[in-house]
Structures are given as structure tokens and as C-alpha cells.
Amino acid sequence: MDRIRLVGGNELRGEIPISGAKNAALPLMIASLLTDEPLVLQNVPRLADVKQLERILENHGVDIAVHGRRRGEDQGVGQRMTFHAADIVDTTAPYELVSVMRASFWVIGPLLARCHEARVSLPGGCAIGTRPVDLFLFGLKQLGAEIDIDEGYVVARAPKGGLVGAHIVLPKVSVGATHTILMAATLARGVTVIENAAQEPEITNVAECLVAMGAKITGIGTRTLTIEGVDKLHGATVDVIPDRIETGTFAMAAAMTGGDVLLRGARPEHLQSALDILARTGTELTYEVDGIRVRRNGNGIQPVDVETDPFPGFPTDLQAQFMALMTMSSGVSNIRETIFENRYMHVAELARFGADIRVEGQLATITGKPTLKGAQVMATDLRASVSLVIAGLAARGETVVNRIYHLDRGFERLEDKLSRCGAEIERVAG
């Protein structure tokens, strides 16, 4: 199994192109199931999760084409891909495919809406908590679906004539449930209202894609989405938004190591809460026409308390990276994780660098130290993996990050992007 080896101590200086957002690309790919016409996605990141979802969609009968680079196109630009679900040949998403990646469960919405039936394995993915699909099924039932659980599969059937619009009040904000119900509602008869919907930029990206495909949606970007069902959706060409989690990750890496990095293509409005927190650590942020410039001033890293929250709050997907940054702050900071109940597995690995972290329930207290020491560490989940890389970039000596397949799921060309900015980092074949 591949590992990443790095030697810390180098400041990051240069430019990092921000890839397309994984958390937008995956539901956008799934949206192709809603139409028999081609959906063209631009700026799709080259990730293991994207490849896995390709396999799942191909199993349903989706034809997928990856287009070559256009003349003058920058090497950092993501893939241009066409997804054509002219004929859905199978409405079953099998365990061996869905168990690898949680987001693949979202195919249940489009399959149910278009084919009036779906049989989808209960999902897998990162081990950061139970993350049940109750809210998904709650919403689909509200649209008239009959739901059964059979030997680890969710079996869903729409009423005769298809799904029916409904007023749905989600008891808890859920990105996955919002994606799934939103897609299903586009082909439902009548009007659907989703209250307490997630507001993440990725939701907006998908909603605007659905509108480009002929859906009738209002309230995009708010807590209340209204969808007037249509008989049929058509093809479209849509850009995947820049990855705000990758943006925040590289911004924190620059803050921890020092230096001066331009995050090209980053959109500050997609992670303003995290940027505001980062500014309080003493990091200098400049919003430029083509991205965000990140500099660390000479006063060291100031301790800051943070609590994770749904958008527009501080993202849970940046919690591990921020904790790595706080391990070298000049005082005591507190992080409260409110989204997932098991998202502190990186704490034990950060401690191997010499970090001082105490966890009590949802609260982690970090006492900063002036230096960390390189170590052998093990990646536990996607975002935790990159927090170990950030720590290694700033630690004295050599760090080896093992079990990095998690990184390949969510970060495109990580070693290349960092090495171009002066990091001593390489992938070692296992």
C-alpha cells in the first residue's frame, strides 16, 4: 500500500490551483440518471471516489466519456466528462459497489423518480460515525414512496404514476438527504417544499444544474427549497464549483508552515466562516481576482476556539486540519465537533508528532507547542489523512503517512501541488 513521505520545515511559496469539489461532482454525476439526454460536467476532479461512482453509474447503464484537454487549457483544470443515461438497464445498486462510498446511496432518489423503483444497498464510507439514512427515507416516504429493508438493501417503490410532491420538514439539516430529496422531487407530480434544507454551496451547484436541465426550483441557497415537478428533464453543460475543503486545507497548510501561497480559483464566499477563523490565528488573507492569497505573519499562530456547524458555519470537513494548525499555536484552543460523533480519530495520530490534545466527548482541548517532531502515522479517514500531512509539513524531521488511499478519495494531485510550492514530499509505492 502506498505511503507519503515528507520532510518538514519548508515554507510554502507559489500557486496552487483548486480542483473541482468532490462533494459537488458526485451528486452532479448522479443527477445524470434523471434524464435520457447527455449531461456534460466540466472541472471534474480526478479522484478515487469519482472513479468508484463511474463504476456504479455504468452498472445502471450510463455511458461515460472523458474528453481530452482543449487547446490552451491549464494543466490544473479538471476533467470534462459526459454522462448519458439514455436507458437505465438496472435499478439495483449492489453492496460491493455502494459499500465502498457513502455518497453512492444517493442514486436512490433519481432511480425512484425516473424508474419508479430502486434497490440500493445500505451505504459504507468513512468511519466517522453512524450517519444513518433515516432522513433520506423519511423524505422519500413523504413523496409517496413505499420503503422496505431487505437483507441489507433499501427497496423503494413509487406509487402508480410516480412520486407526488409534498411539504417536507427535515428534523435535522442533512446534505445527503437534501440532495436526494431535491433530485427526486424534480420529476414528482405537483409541488415539493423542503424546509430546513442544507445550504452548502454544493447543494446550490446541484440545484442550478437541475434548473439548467429544465427543473423548476426556487429558494436556491436558502433553508427552504420549492420544487415544481416536471415531466422530463433534458441535458445540460455545467461546471463543478471549486473545492472549498481543498481551499481551506491548503490555506491552513500555508498558515502552519509560513510562506505565501495563491489558491487559484478559490471562492471565499464558499468558506467565509473558516477564513474568518483563520484570520484570527494571525494569518493574512487577501482576496484577489483569481483566488485567495494566504500569508503567515511573523507573530506566530494565535489560539482560536471553533465549533463545527452546517453551512455557513465552520465545516466539519476542516476540523481535523484546523486541529493540526492549533497544535502549534501559542496557547490553548478548543474545538467542539457538533456534526459527527466519531470524528476525533486523528487525535491519537497527531499525538505521535508530540501534540498535546485532550478529548472529552465532543470537546477537544489543544495546548499548542512551538515545535512538532516527524513521526510514522496512520491515516484513519479522508480529512484526518490530510491533517497528518499538514502536521508533517511543519514538523522537524521525516514523517511517513501510511494507508493513504483515503487521500486519493478526496485530494487531487496532493503531493504535486505541495511540492511545486517547496514542500519536500513524495509518494512511496507500497
Distance CA 230, CA 225 (A): 16
Beta bridge partners of 301: 329
User: Would you call 430 exposed, middle or buried from its count of C-beta atoms within 10 A (0-12, 13-18, 19+)?
Assistant: exposed
DSSP state of 318: G
Instruction: Note if 126 is an active site residue.
Output: yes
317 is in an annotated binding site: yes
Distance CA 42, CA 21 (A): 11
132 is in an annotated binding site: yes
251 grid coordinates: 490555506
380 grid coordinates: 484513519
Contact 262, 292 (CB under 8 A): yes
Choose among 285, 327, 284, 287: nearest CA to 304: 327
- At a CB cut-off of 8 Å and minimum separation 6, what does 416 contact? none
Alpha-carbon torsion angle 66, 69, 75, 79, nearest 10: -20
325 is in an annotated binding site: no
172 is in an annotated binding site: yes
102 is in an annotated binding site: yes
User: Would you call 299 exposed, middle or buried from its count of C-beta atoms within 10 A (0-12, 13-18, 19+)?
Assistant: exposed
Contact 375, 395 (CB under 8 A): yes
301 is in an annotated binding site: no
175 is in an annotated binding site: yes
Helix (H) or strand (E) holding 260: strand 259-264
3-state helix, strand, coil in the chain (%, to 5): 35, 30, 40
Total Cβ atoms within 10 A of residue 47: 23
Phi, psi of 300 (to 5 degrees): 80, -175
Phi, psi of 142 (to 5 degrees): -60, -30
133 is in an annotated binding site: yes
The edge-to-edge listing of strands for the beta sheet with 424-428 is: 376-378, 398-402, 3-7, 424-428
**Single-letter amino acid, residue 414:** L
339 is in an annotated binding site: yes
**Single-letter amino acid, residue 82:** T
Annotated binding site for phosphoenolpyruvate: 22-23
Query: Residues with catalytic annotation?
Result: 126
Annotated binding site: 22-23, 102, 131-135, 172-175, 317, 339
Annotated binding site for UDP-N-acetyl-alpha-D-glucosamine: 102, 131-135, 172-175, 317, 339
